[in-house]
Amino acid sequence: MPAEVAVGAMARDQPDSVALALHPLAQQFAMAADGFGPFAGSPFRRFLVAPPQLHLSEHALALHFLLQGSQSLIDVVVANEDLHGGGSPGKDAQGPGPRSVARLCQYLAPSAQAVKEPSGCFTRVRRHHIFGTMALLKIARMGHPVLRAAASPVDDPTAPWVARLVEDMIETMEDAGGTGIAAPQVHAPHRIAVFRVPEERVTEMPGDSAQDLTVLINPVVELLGQERAFGWEGCLSVPGLRGVVPRHLRIRYRGTDLKGNIIDREVEGFHARVVQHECDHLDGILYPQRMTDHRLLVFLEELQRHPIDLAAFLSERRAT
């Protein structure tokens, strides 16, 4: 049991005390416990995940007086690494202001709000006393049905549920070390993709350049020309493997962003490759299905031990 959870458990024997759990894992614990609802038992329904700008580690005494009249809250879970002392200064660095405290009091009410999701998604309940900002989502792996089905168009790209999903997708992608992720990869069957083009992956082609994080909703890809190139690809849904995939060198893609603005670009090289890869997910296609020679589907660890000269391999294959 994590230390912060043990501290919270001891506090229940002293109803007048408030337990502060200064560890980001506490948020995940509180949210998981809350999800069990009545099956979790009363010890698990007494958590608060507070916003980091309150800096509760510096104002624990004030928080104690604030909460001492609450009969339904004992344990206070602060899920933010900045409270260890390494946070960056900002306008909230002086501690909680009246607006922050008012917002905290509002969330103390033992109520829940159902969030209506579009057809095809479960309806989830957001509890007011747990208000973490983003979450890591479970990544679907090759073989799961959600990765074989065509995703559904998004009726309103500006809808709040789309923004929440995209925030979680971005955090999940960055945590996994990916350059892109599509909604079906996190079990959300919607035509949404997120990607970036790092400077170190840019080729020498004129239409290939570094690209900041891009959110692409309802994308349409148009293949330009017949020229294709082979290149190594990996995928968060195919962990541990790499494969050589032929992709068109030039494409045009269109879609909308979270504000409903139109995105329309002609790109080349790696930029074109990553967009084709992510948009394939929206049509139920994984990169191994695009491969023309599965001898080049390898484990990453083996590829690092035994590098493949791709140019020589392809030249030899054409000669035979």
Q: Does residue 231 sit in helix, strand or coil?
A: strand
Catalytic site residue 278? yes
- The yes-or-no verdict on residue 59 having pLDDT over 70 is no
Domain residue extents for the chain:
3-127, 145-319
Q: How confident is the model at residue 158 (pLDDT cuts 50, 70, 90)?
A: very high
* Residues 43, 10 contacting (CB under 8 angstroms): no
pTM: 0.61
Predicted local confidence at residue 116, as pLDDT: 39
Q: Which helix (H) or strand (E) holds 113?
A: strand 112-115
CB 296 within 8 A of CB 308: yes
Neighbours of 110 (CB within 10 A): 12
Percent of the chain predicted with pLDDT > 70: 58
* Assigned token pair, 145: 């049905």
* Rg of the chain taking only CA atoms, in angstroms: 24
Residues 165, 134: Cα–Cα separation, whole Å: 9
Q: How far is CA 63 from CA 95, 101, 110, 112, in A?
A: 11, 9, 18, 23
Residue 275 has pLDDT above 50, yes or no: yes
* 145-319 under CATH 2.60.120.10, yes or no: no
Residue of 278, 301, 302, 316 marked catalytic:
278
Is-contact 47 2, C-beta < 8 A?
A: no
Q: How far apart are CA 26 and CA 32, in angstroms?
A: 10
| Residue 141: per-residue pLDDT | 97
Question: 217-248 pLDDT, tens per residue?
Answer: 999 999 999 999 999 999 999 999 999 999 99
